[in-house]
Structure 1
Amino acid sequence: MPLRLELSADSASPGVGLSRRRSLLKRSSLQTNNNTTGSKDLLFSLTPSARVPTELLERIIDHYVLDARSPVCYGIPDTAKSLATFTSCIEPHLTVSKSFRYLLLRSFFRVLILAKEDIGSMLRLLSTFNEEYYSENGGFLWVKSLICSSYQVPPNRKTLAFLTQLQTMQVDFTNHGLRSQRQSLEQIFGSFSRQGATLKLVSLELTHMPRIDIHLLALIAKEVPTLRVLRIASTDGLDTACCPNCYEDSLSRIVHSPIPHLYEDVQSLANAFGRALKSLKHLTSLSLGVFLSPTHLLDLHIDHGFNDLNLRPTTADSVYDCGRCTKYWQSTRQRELLASIILAGYLESLESVEWSSLFLTPCKHHNNCQRRGSDALRGQIVTENSGVISVGNITHSNAAGQDGYSYDNVNGEGTQEHVLCECPKGALTANFRVQRQSSTIIIVTREVSMVR
C-alpha cells in the first residue's frame, strides 16, 4: 500500500510523517457533523493531503543510495567504504518508518560490494536483516548483484550460497596467478552452485584473469547455463602504461596473447572457444580480454624506443601511435573479425563480440578502462579502427571431416583463398547480415562506409 506524507496543520513548523494511505481524499462524516461543520471545514476535509506514492519514494531512495555509494561502484574498493557508507548514509535513516526502513535496506543491499576490510561485518549485517525480514523475502534475497575478490569466496562460501537471487556477479582475480587460477575457479563455482545461487545469473564478469582457456570457458558454460552477458579480461592485468620493467613484471602473471604459443592460429582459437561455450544457448554479448595480435608485438614495440634515439620514450601502451607497428594493424583486425564470425557459428544467439586491442586510441580515463574492439554480428555497427571482412561464406568442415574454413570472394569469382578487403584506419559503418544454413555461415555485406 502506498505511503503518505502528512503535514501537521496545528504546528507553526510542520513536521513530516510517513503513514499508510487509506483513501484518496480525507472526508468527514457529514451525517454526524452536519450542524457543526462550516463551509471552510468541509472544503478542507475534501482537500487531498500531501503524500508521496511508494513508487516515487522508492525511486528517490534508489537515487540516494546510488549517490551515497558512487565512489565505490567502479571496482573493488581498497578500504572499508561499503561499511562506512552504510554507517554514515543508511543507518541514520532506518528509524523513519517501517516501510521506509524496508525500502532503504532493500535498495542498499541490491548491490553487495565486499571489500577486504569489511567483508565479515557486511555479511554479519546482512545475516541480521535476513532474520528480521525472512518472512518478507528480505535479507539475502535482496542481493541481485555481487562484487568481490576471488579470495573472499572460499572462506565465506556457506554464507554466500544463500544469495539465490543473484543476477549479476563480478569477481576480481588480481590475487591469483597462473597456477592457482583453476583451483580458485572450481572453489568459486562449487560454492555458488550447491544452493543453486547461479541458476538465475544472467551476467558474469571476471577481471584480471591470469589466463583465458577452454577449461575456464567450459566450466562457466556448465555452471551458469543461463548467461546472457559474459565478460572476461586478462589484459587489464598487463601494466602497459608505466615502464618496461613494470611491463616485464606483469608478464609473469598473465597470458595476454594466446597466438601462436597456445593456439596455432585464430581459427584454432575461435574453434576451441566456440566449442567450450556452445552450451550457452542464451548468450548475446561476449567480451574476451585477450590480444589477437602476435605475441611478440609488444616486445618489438618496446625495442623501437631502445634502438632509435630519435623516437620519443616508448611504453607498451603506445602501440596504437607507433608508425612501425601500424603494419600489424590490418592483420590483427582481420583476426578479430574472423574470430567473431567463427564464434557466431557456435553461439546462435550471439549479437556482439569484443576483443582487447592495442590499436584503439585510449580514452581520457584510460587508467580505469579497457580498450576493446567490438564486432556486432547483426544489423548496423559503428566501431573505431575497424575493418570489414569481405567473405561470402564460411564452411565448418572440410572434406576430411576436420574443422576448417574456405573463403569465397564476395564478388562471386569463386577463388578459394583467404580474401580480405582493404581496411583503412578509421571508423567504419558496416551493415551486414549473418545467416546460418546447416554447417555454413553466410555473411551478406550490404553497405560499408567511412564515418567522416
Structure 2
Amino acid sequence: MESSDFEDDFYEDDLESLVHSSPSAYTHTFTSPAPEQRASQHKDIRVIAPDQNKITHIKTPQLPIEVVDYIASFLFDSCPSGCFFHVHSFSLVCSQFRHVALRHYFSSIHVASAKQLSAYTNFHFSLISRNAPGDSVGLDYVKNLKHLMISSSSDGRQSQTTRLKRIFSPPAIPLVPWFPPQLTSLTMTKLWRIDVPLLKTVASAFPSVKILHLSCSEQLDVSCCWTCFEESSTAVVHSPIPNYFNDITKLTDHFADSLEPLTQLTDLHLGIFLSDEEMVEKHIEHYDTPLEFDHMHRITFSSKAASPPTGNILSQLETETTTGLISYSVDQDDKKEESHSGTCTEDLPFPHGPELCRTCKLIGSASKVRTRELEASLALARKIKTLRTVSWSSFFTSQVFEPDDNKAGDWLRRTTAYILRANGRVRVRRRPW
C-alpha cells in the first residue's frame, strides 16, 4: 500500500506546483461537490457573412460539466488512487476539466509521511489565509473528501502523537467543520497503540464515518531476525489483554462507549490481537529455550481446569438491559474454514509469528481465542446498533482472498465477524449470512 520514494516526491512536487500556481476562480473551488444539474451552456461564435456589413452569431452547444464528470469517473476509477500523474494531463485541458480532475483526485487522501502532511498544510493555507496558525491542518477545504488514509510507518511514538494532533486538533474558529461530512471511510495503519483516547478523538472528528479501520498489529517485524521481532513486540501494544484490559468485557465496554458518537458506523476493524499478550512472549521462548518449551507442554496437558464454551456461531438478546446468556453453536460449513494452521518445520521463514506455529496453536488454544474474538464482536454489535461487520487481527485465521482495496494494514492476519439481527437477537459468525 505504500508508495515509492519517487512517487512520493513527484506527488508532493505536484502539490507544490498547485500551491504556487497563479490565482484563479477555480483554484478556490476545485474541491467543491459535483455541480448540480443545470441548463446547457452555449458559446457564441461570430461568423462573417459574404456581406461584410453583416455578422452572424451562431450558438454552439457546450458539453455539460455533469457529462464530463461522469465520463471522467470511469478514467479515475481505473487509475491507482493517490497518484496525481494519471490525472495531471487531464487537468491541464481547461479550467472545467481541472475542476473535475482535482475533485476526483481529492476524494481520497493518503498521508504517509510528515513531508506529505506539510504539502497538504501548505496547500491548505494557500486557499485560506497565509496568516492562519500553522500548528494544525484541517481538511475541510477538500469538499469531496470521502476516504482518508493515514499511515504512521515513519513515526515513532512521540512523532505519531504529534502528527495526529496536527490533523485532529479542533479548529480555532468555532462551528467550522474540521472534516467534510462526505468523509465516510477512515483508515489508520501502523499505529503503536489503539486506546480509548484515540477512539474518542476519531469519533468526535469523524461523526459521519461508516467504515473505520484502525490497526497496529502489523508493527510486529518479521522481516529481519528474531531479535528485531522481539524488539518490535515491545514497541507496540499488539495484545491489550490482560495488561491494559482485564478481559474482553472491559475492552468492549470502553471501546463501545468511545465510539458511541459514530451513529452511522457499519464496518469496524480493530487491528489488535485478542489472544493474551504472553502468547508472543511464549512463542519467542519456545524457540530460544527448548527446556521452556517442554515445561509448557507439561503444564498444558496436566491442567485439569474446565474449558470455557466454544463455538463458531454466537447469539444473544439484542437488548443491552437484558443479561441473557450467550448461545454457542457450531456451523459445519464455517468449521471447515478453521482447518488452516501453521506447521513448525525448518522450511518456515525465520522469524515468524504465532500464526505459522503449530505449537502456539496447541498451547494457545486456537479454538478458545477464536471464540473470544466472536464474543468481543457480539458485545460490540449489541452496543453499536448499526454495525454489520467487526474484524480483528488474529493469529488463528484462515487464509482468504481479499480484493486489493481491502489490503490495508495487517490484512493477512484479519478475521471478520458478520452480524445478523433478527427476532430480537444478535448473531455473529465468520462468513456472510
Structure 1 residue runs of 4 or more that deviate by more than 6 Å after TM superposition: 49-53, 363-368, 447-450
CA–CA distance in 2 between the matches of 1:435 and 1:178? 46
CA–CA distance in 2 between the matches of 1:448 and 1:212? 23
Structure 1 counterpart of 2:416, from 366, 374, 377: 374
CA offsets 1:30-85 (integer angstroms, 9 cap, x no match): xxxxxxxxxxxxxxxxxxx99977555334433444555x2x64xxxxxxxx5xx4
Q: Unaligned regions of 5+ residues in structure 2, if any? A: 1-39, 44-59, 294-343
What is the one-letter code of the residue matched to 1:377? Answer: I
Change (3 A) 1:184 1:94: closer
Change (3 A) 1:64 1:190: same
| SS, match of residue 271 in structure 2 | strand
Offset, 1:260: 1.2
CA–CA distance in 2 between the matches of 1:60 and 1:444? 42
Aligned to 1:106: 103
Does 1 or 2 have the higher relative contact order (CA < 8 Å, sep 6+)? 2
Aligned to 2:141: 162
CA–CA distance in 2 between the matches of 1:295 and 1:243? 20
Q: What is the RMSD of the two structures over their aligned residues, measured on CA atoms?
A: 4.4
The answer to whether the 8 Å contact 1:281/1:349 transfers is yes
Structure 2 counterpart of 1:188, from 132, 145, 167: 167
CA offsets 1:183-208 (integer angstroms, 9 cap, x no match): 65444321468531236132222211
What is the one-letter code of the residue matched to 2:99? Answer: Y
Q: Unaligned regions of 5+ residues in structure 1, if any? A: 1-19, 24-48, 74-81, 132-153, 379-432, 437-441
Offset, 1:298: 2.1
The answer to whether the 8 Å contact 1:169/1:203 transfers is yes
What is the one-letter code of the residue matched to 1:342? Answer: A
Does 1:272 find its partner at 2:273?
Answer: no
CA–CA distance in 2 between the matches of 1:122 and 1:349? 33
TM-score (norm 1): 0.57
| SS, match of residue 196 in structure 1 | coil
What is the one-letter code of the residue matched to 2:235? Answer: R
The answer to whether the 8 Å contact 1:305/1:311 transfers is no
Aligned to 2:207: 225
How many residue pairs were aligned? 316
Change (3 A) 1:241 1:434: farther
Does 1:213 find its partner at 2:179?
Answer: no
CA–CA distance in 2 between the matches of 1:255 and 1:229? 23
CA–CA distance in 1 between the matches of 2:180 and 2:92? 35
Offset, 1:269: 1.4
Does 1:198 find its partner at 2:179?
Answer: yes
Change (3 A) 1:93 1:179: closer
Question: Within 5 Å, which residues of 2 pair with 1:28-427?
Answer: 54-66=65-77, 70=80, 73=82, 85-86=84-85, 90=88, 92-113=89-110, 117=115, 155=134, 157-158=136-137, 160=139, 162-163=141-142, 166-178=145-157, 184-191=163-170, 195-198=176-179, 200=181, 201-306=183-288, 307=290, 311-312=346-347, 315=350, 317-327=352-362, 328-361=365-398, 369-370=410-411, 371-378=413-420
CA offsets 1:388-411 (integer angstroms, 9 cap, x no match): xxxxxxxxxxxxxxxxxxxxxxxx
Residue identity (%): 26
| SS, match of residue 193 in structure 2 | coil
The answer to whether the 8 Å contact 1:241/1:316 transfers is yes
| SS, match of residue 169 in structure 2 | helix
CA–CA distance in 1 between the matches of 2:258 and 2:116? 37
